[in-house]
Structure 1
Amino acid sequence: MKLTMSPASPYVRKARALAIKRGVADRIEMWTVATSAPELAALNPLSKIPTFVTDDGQVLYDSPVVCEYIDSLGDAPPCIPPAGPARWRALTLAALGDGIMDATQPRRREIALPQDDGRKEYIAGQQAKVTRALDALEQETLGELETIGDITVACALGYLDFRYPNEPWRPGHPKLTAWYERVVKLPPMAQTMPPAG
């Protein structure tokens, strides 16, 4: 099995963290590849990471699908609960974490471009999504990386630290901060830290 990766991608980090949590990381080969690489485009028409290649050659993308596949491997308890309230809560938290990442990545790109009124409005709108998501997460009771929701939220917060250290998210979110400070030390997060700088 092979997982395309960039050490800075929060979506790849989510898949890697899940593989560690499930005890199957040693079964997955990591393949560092640029999203512009022709070999990635040949596998995934969207040319996005993560892209996952199974042992039988099936190609899976994007991160929610990759994570569901990884969650089916090994014997550890699943991180995506079966149908029912726990599943919907975990998937909703995962969507909230993905939404933070989805709003953060384009905002970073847009900041580097000339700042006309339309671009400033777009950037502010993306930043507002992150602020609302953080406020919603402050009201949640999160587990110790037991579900895909916990893992995705932790990766999203880590990405904010990594890409926006000058915009701290912790003020006004003491409960979320305390939770993150605990889980960031657990192996799935500690072993997948993005590179410094």
Structure 2
Amino acid sequence: MKLISSAASPFVRKVRVLVHEMGLTDAITEQQVTTTAFQSDASVIAANPLGKIPALVRDDAATLYDSRVITRFLNDTNDGAFYPAARIWETLTLEATADGIMETAVSMAYEVRLRPENEQSADWVEAQWQKTSRAIAAVNNRWMSHLAGPLDMSHIAVACALSYVDLRHDARNWRNGNDALAAWHEAFKQRDSMKATSA
């Protein structure tokens, strides 16, 4: 199988961290691409008509895309335990929250990195940050007991989301007022899978 990816994408990193955690690095090759919301790489478009990454090209079946589809596929086809039945709805909800943080943080980055300065909207950037900030606070205030439990896909998603906020929006200081989550993230970053996939 081949994973079409870009090192800076938090959605790609989610998949890459899972691949490392499950010991699947020898089963999946990576194709690094340079792609943006305004100019998608041709190989990305061929794999996903939406022009988004990651995409998992399978040898004998349809290409899969959307990080949550890919991670669920890898988990379910390799006897993984990253979507535990006993707490599946909590895992999926927290993963969706993390993905929402990624989406708003990526949107902020696109606004200032891809659009000409005279077309940028400070109001848009701030609105996206408010969503990001609220979601981070919600994880800190409501989900720490889950994050303290056995490793599942939501842990990986939250860690990748927060690391992306660090990468693109470090000046926003998301840690302020989120002490428990900040301490958890600092510890989680020390996992081999996180170190191996750092941008």
Q: Structure 1-normalised TM-score?
A: 0.89
**Separation in structure 1 between the aligned mates of residue 187 and residue 109 of structure 2, nearest angstrom:** 27
Quick check: 1:93–1:149 contact (8 Å CA) kept in 2? Answer: yes
**Separation in structure 1 between the aligned mates of residue 148 and residue 189 of structure 2, nearest angstrom:** 12
Quick check: 1:51–1:62 contact (8 Å CA) kept in 2? Answer: yes
Q: 1:65 aligns to what?
A: 69
Instruction: Confirm whether residue 78 of structure 1 aligns to residue 81 of structure 2.
Output: yes
**Separation in structure 2 between the aligned mates of residue 187 and residue 144 of structure 1, nearest angstrom:** 19
Q: Alignment partner for residue 163 of structure 2, among 130, 142, 158?
A: 158
| Paired letter, 1:71 | N
Structure 2 unpaired stretches of 5+:
none
Which structure has more helix as a fraction of its residues?
A: 2
Q: Report the Cα offset of residue 80 of structure 1.
A: 1.1
Q: Report the Cα offset of residue 145 of structure 1.
A: 7.2
Instruction: Confirm whether residue 12 of structure 1 aligns to residue 12 of structure 2.
Output: yes
**Separation in structure 1 between the aligned mates of residue 111 and residue 33 of structure 2, nearest angstrom:** 23
> Aligned runs of 1:1-197 on 2, under 5 Å?
1-35=1-35, 36-75=40-79, 77-82=80-85, 84=86, 86-112=87-113, 113-114=116-117, 119-139=121-141, 140-141=143-144, 142-143=147-148, 146-194=151-199
Other structure's SS at 1:80 match: coil
Q: Report the Cα offset of residue 73 of structure 1.
A: 3.7
Quick check: 1:90–1:149 contact (8 Å CA) kept in 2? Answer: yes
RMSD of aligned residue pairs (Cα, Å): 1.8
Other structure's SS at 2:121 match: helix
**Separation in structure 2 between the aligned mates of residue 72 and residue 187 of structure 1, nearest angstrom:** 22
Q: Structure 2-normalised TM-score?
A: 0.88
Q: Report the Cα offset of residue 119 of structure 1.
A: 2.1
1:5-34 per-residue CA deviation (whole Å, 9 max, x = no partner) reads 111110000001011111212211001123
Structure 1 segments of 4+ aligned residues over 4 angstroms from their partners: none
Bigger shift: 55-64 or 141-150?
141-150
Other structure's SS at 1:25 match: coil
Q: Report the Cα offset of residue 115 of structure 1.
A: 5.9
| Paired letter, 1:79 | F
| Paired letter, 2:131 | K
Q: Report the Cα offset of residue 94 of structure 1.
A: 0.5
Change (3 A) 1:158 1:54: same
**Separation in structure 2 between the aligned mates of residue 146 and residue 12 of structure 1, nearest angstrom:** 19
Structure 1 unpaired stretches of 5+:
none
Other structure's SS at 1:3 match: strand
Quick check: 1:144–1:183 contact (8 Å CA) kept in 2? Answer: no
